[in-house]
Structure 1
Amino acid sequence: MLRRFFAYYRPWRGLFILDFCCAVLSGLLELGFPMAVKLFVDELLPTEQWLLILAATAGLLAIYVVNTGLMAVVVYWGHMLGINIETEMRRKSFDHLQKLSFRFYDNHKTGHLIARVTKDLEEIGEVAHHGPEDLFIAIMTFIGAFALMFLVNPQLALITAAIVPLVAWVTSRYGARMTRNWQALYGRVGDFNVRIEENVGGMRVVQAFANEDHERNLFARDNASYRKTKLDAYRIMAASTSLSYMSMRLIQLVVMIAGSYLVLRGELSSGGFVGFLLLVNVFFRPIDKINSVIETYPKGIAGFRRYAALLDTEPDIADRPGAFDAPTLRGDISYRDVTFGYSGERPVLKNIDLDIAAGQTIAFVGPSGAGKTTLCSLLPRFYEVDSGAITIDGLDIRDMTLASLRGQIGIVQQDVFLFGGTIRENIAYGRPGASQAE
């Protein structure tokens, strides 16, 4: 799955390199600051040369200005990288939805599908920007800070490193739980969207039956489930963050006591002590980043799994290999021994034989559920027949491309649906480029 995820970086390789390099350089400059403070206290202050002190301060200011520019690049261009990947994923998912058949939409709720194209992809975009970059910078800073601490004082460095196993345990313990929780949360968001979409779309029916209280109760149930799942996520996050914070503060206190002891014994300089305390903050800063990754990574991974599952859904109706564009059709329609069912257990139509001549007007009459709409839906291949064949002018409709077949069939749907836009755009939906006269 990771290989599939990182494949989306390929078109934006240059942007990724720019963002990544600026983030690495900014991290290295952050590592250098505590060592600069150590030299400032131990080497410059004893000289009492103000010009040299001011020159060193100006040099540090210049480094800060450069680092500020690097951080601006990381924030803006890094987020552009995430947005570009998110936009491409949204295009792919929307394009894939256009290929899926009526059967797919019969089995999936609209609200869940909307969540996959909106909320899921927003979280993926955040991980695309922060995930690999933050993880690498965290590891680099972690190792670099420890090496510098070891250079300043090996004893204090080993004392500080003693906390690492505890932090690793906290990270591994809560990371998996967060992933499972955010997957459940996305399901709740889908239920939320379904409830709102059904209520707003069916408001005339709701009010006609005076069922407003019933709808409120259904919404309250979904709302409460969403709230509970989200509170579970924040409880896990609070435990992880609190344990990490307490671990860092305890080690800082231990370092202060041990460092003071070494300074009093003359085994550590004052500048080294100050620099080491600053390095401790730098050393544990990656843990904050790792906690941030723990928060965003499960959301992104849960979203990407749902996105991948959507793309992996194969259309059950597609052009056959070698399918041809339908010629101009006269309209002689034949159903030959056609059997069809929405599920394999119970056929709706069985062994249907029917001939309709070009230009002939036919009306299917029968009770609700008799199969009238189903019979018509098979002609444009909204559903695929289980057995038998349908031909137009002697050509099997499965041998024609879907676009060329449906382009020659006029349809007035049983349920009226109006798209956002003007009345003219809705009338011309079958031929968007139609002139005013047409």
Structure 2
Amino acid sequence: MSNSTKRLRIEEDEPITKPFNWSQFVRLLRYIKPYRRYFIYSFLLMLLATFYNLAGPYLIRLVIDIDIPHRNIHALLYKSVFYIVLTLLYVISLRARTIFMTKLGNSVVSDIRMHLFSHLQKLSLTFFDSRPAGKIMVRVMNDVDSLSELLSNSILNVLVDTLSLWAIIVIMLSIDIKLSLVALGVLPLLILIIMVLKNSIRIRWQEVRKKSSTLNAYIHESIQGMKITHAFTREEKNAEIFKNLNTTFKNTWMKAIRVNNLFWPTIEFTGTLSSVLIFLFGIWMMRKGYTTLGTIIAFSNYMGMFWQPINNISNFYNQLLVAMASTERIFEILDTQPDIQDSPYAYNLPPIRGEIKFENVYFSYDEEKPVLKNVSFTIKAGETIALVGETGAGKTTIINLIARFYEPQNGRILIDGHDIKNVTLNSLRKQIGIMLQDTFIFSGTIADNIRYAKPDATMDEVIRAAKIVNAHEFIMKMENGYDTEVNERGSRLSIGQRQLIAFARALLADPKILILDEATSAVDTQTEILIQQAIEKLTSGRTSIIIAHRLSTIRNADRIFVIHDGQIVEEGSHTQLLEKKGYYYNLYTSQFKYFEK
């Protein structure tokens, strides 16, 4: 994929998300099930807190209408103490509820992130080929984090707030039906405004998530390609691109916030309107002798409590819309199935000798251009094969198919007579060692990187593997030897050092089939000698397939396959192919002969 194509893919938005889906919300709630005891404890505590809170206005009504007019000091004192106790119990209940719900929210978010990351490990390479790493990272981190508040507080609060609303309505109706109808008369106006706003809010937050994903993808790519940026003095151009993406994200965020924040003024307006109606109508009722001052004050307090749950429920709906925009993206990944996976009847591949057979294998990455065209060959166990050919001829595709990173459209691939489609991926790949041209070194120590293919390897095994591939000497010269921390992608190490560490990693895994893709590229002559010696030790006693531009590597192969236009056009030893003066001879005179100098 060209850089220009990749740039366009990063900057383009993801597809428009689906409308709000309640089934996804229910699916999200299933993650709470393992921690339901925390939810139940919190729910009970919130019910108690609500009871303590609702009792306050009723006590105030009794004090104003009965105790104060009758100058009953003892009753007033008892009710005051009781009110203080209720307030303390209310605060204690809320505190305990916060602890339980924080545990629940953090546990659920951790489980979702773990589930998402584990699922990503199983997806096929085609999934990662079509998506920038930055956009995937946004879903694992930002999108999952956006669910924290919803799961920690909002879901429980909306249940309790709903019960509170009904309790307040029942209490108000039991005190005065006419005054209740006046107080609740503004609800239709509030519902109408909410219905108008909800779709706009959902769409705006979906757009925010898309723009955030694009921005993070560009940041990730820019950091990874910083050397190229400096080499081609792209700093100003990259800053301009980032400025445009950042400005677009900011503007999209502000549009979402502006619509989102219309809820609060709406609640305030309708709440104030309701209070005004209560006092105006209440004063008229007092003059007629239909109600009392204590009742009006109690109603005013209850309506204040009534609008708080309404406000909370409205905020919950906002949070729900924001969270569901992320949930859609999380579940999109979780619902993506690997293109390559074990069949229902797959069995474990037994220990192999290493014979590889292609039978009329046809493969293409897209329908328009085939990469391999009915390729057939057999590699004997323990044989070393070199693959040569022009760029794009299909060399790397062959090794990708052997490791079953991709699936051929037609034909079969056999290892020791076993069709690799019929064996489990784990048992297949455990017996194949692959070293790619872009040697990947992980953050951590050198020992950790060598041990990557065999986590339970002892330190003695690690050192032995490093010595065999000539990596021990340079490792011991580093400040902490095998415990030296290497930066991400091994930026502290030279290309040759990274390759030697990768050789030690492959040797430690002790695969029966070894694949080396351009393993000797871009190194100096002295390092090439060390690498060549390492290759000879690595390939000894195992089936090896080597893609290389170095003549020294190719010359020592048992056979050389010359690939041209998706087919093997020649095969034989180095000497045999030179004598034919065909494709290999032309490649040798135009490319490989250069490396002999």
Normalised-by-shorter TM-score class: over 0.9
Paired with 2:161 and 2:26, the residues of 1 have a C-alpha distance of 21
The one-letter code of the counterpart of 1:356 is: I
Aligned to 1:126: 149
Report 1:120-159 matches (<5 A): 120-159=143-182
SS in 1 for 2:361: strand
Report 1:39-438 matches (<5 A): 39-438=62-461
Contact between 2:194 and 2:263, CA under 8 Å: does it hold in 1?
yes
The TM-score normalised by the length of structure 2 is 0.71
1:271 Cα offset (Å): 1.3
SS in 1 for 2:375: strand
Contact between 2:53 and 2:86, CA under 8 Å: does it hold in 1?
no
Size of the aligned set, in residue pairs, is 438
Aligned to 2:589: none
1:423 Cα offset (Å): 1.5
Q: Deviations over 1:261-290 (max 9, x none)?
A: 323443222211211110110111112102
Contact between 1:428 and 1:434, CA under 8 Å: does it hold in 2?
yes
Aligned to 2:586: none
SS in 1 for 2:69: helix
Paired with 2:111 and 2:276, the residues of 1 have a C-alpha distance of 48
The one-letter code of the counterpart of 1:261 is: W
Contact between 1:339 and 1:347, CA under 8 Å: does it hold in 2?
yes
RMSD: 1.6
The one-letter code of the counterpart of 1:367 is: E
Contact between 2:35 and 2:104, CA under 8 Å: does it hold in 1?
yes
Paired with 1:106 and 1:157, the residues of 2 have a C-alpha distance of 62
SS in 2 for 1:303: helix
Contact between 1:262 and 1:268, CA under 8 Å: does it hold in 2?
yes
1:28 Cα offset (Å): 2.5
1:171 Cα offset (Å): 1.8
Following TM superposition, the consecutive aligned residue runs of length 4 or more in structure 1 with deviations greater than 4 angstroms are: none
1:223 Cα offset (Å): 0.7
The one-letter code of the counterpart of 1:297 is: L
SS in 2 for 1:162: helix
SS in 2 for 1:429: helix
Paired with 1:33 and 1:258, the residues of 2 have a C-alpha distance of 23
Paired with 2:173 and 2:415, the residues of 1 have a C-alpha distance of 82
Paired with 2:439 and 2:210, the residues of 1 have a C-alpha distance of 29
Higher relative contact order (CA 8 A, sep 6+): 1
Contact between 1:112 and 1:187, CA under 8 Å: does it hold in 2?
no
Q: Deviations over 1:284-325 (max 9, x none)?
A: 111210221122111121122212211111111111122222
Paired with 2:323 and 2:110, the residues of 1 have a C-alpha distance of 15
SS in 2 for 1:437: helix
Paired with 1:368 and 1:241, the residues of 2 have a C-alpha distance of 61
SS in 1 for 2:146: helix
Paired with 1:74 and 1:170, the residues of 2 have a C-alpha distance of 32
Gaps of 5+ in 1: none
Most deviating of 62-71 and 1-10: 1-10
Most deviating of 111-120 and 99-108: 111-120
Most deviating of 246-255 and 93-102: 246-255
Paired with 1:154 and 1:212, the residues of 2 have a C-alpha distance of 71
Paired with 1:312 and 1:264, the residues of 2 have a C-alpha distance of 66
Contact between 1:178 and 1:294, CA under 8 Å: does it hold in 2?
no
Q: Which has the larger radius of gyration?
A: 2
Contact between 2:38 and 2:100, CA under 8 Å: does it hold in 1?
yes
The one-letter code of the counterpart of 1:189 is: S
Percent identical residues: 30
SS in 1 for 2:63: helix
SS in 2 for 1:46: coil
Paired with 1:62 and 1:243, the residues of 2 have a C-alpha distance of 35
